[in-house]
Amino acid sequence: GQQLNQSPQSMFIQEGEDVSMNCTSSSIFNTWLWYKQDPGEGPVLLIALYKAGELTSNGRLTAQFGITRKDSFLNISASIPSDVGIYFCAGRRSQGNLIFGKGTKLSVKP
């Protein structure tokens, strides 16, 4: 099925670093959401965005709904070890189901 282009696929973080990831699509979405999944768990909603251009924060996390409605960005500031996990973007059109990106895996630098 159709999926969003999420990048990067994986990244290593060092405690204290800022992290950025993004999601793009060839189609317009009415809603963009970001979820995080820890091993053995289901995804957990981090941030939901409903308007083009919207910038929303949740603690150290900030996400933006792209002005073209075809992309979204997630930033994590001053990363900590518990930020490790897989981050998924998801887009939704009106009356439609969620379409998920393939995820960005955050790991700690050895």
16 contributes a contact to another protein by CB under 8 A? no
Place of tokens 């150290």: 60
- Which runs of E-coded beta strand occur in 3-110? 5-7, 10-13, 19-24, 31-37, 44-49, 55-58, 61-65, 71-76, 85-92, 98-100, 104-108
* Separation of alpha carbons 46 and 14, rounded Å: 21
Q: Which of 82, 95, 109, 110 binds another protein (CB under 8 A)?
A: 95
Closest separation in Å from C-beta 33 to another protein: 5
Nearer to another protein, 37 or 77 (CB): 37
96 contributes a contact to another protein by CB under 8 A? yes
Q: Which of 13, 76, 101, 104 binds another protein (CB under 8 A)?
A: 101
Closest separation in Å from C-beta 46 to another protein: 11
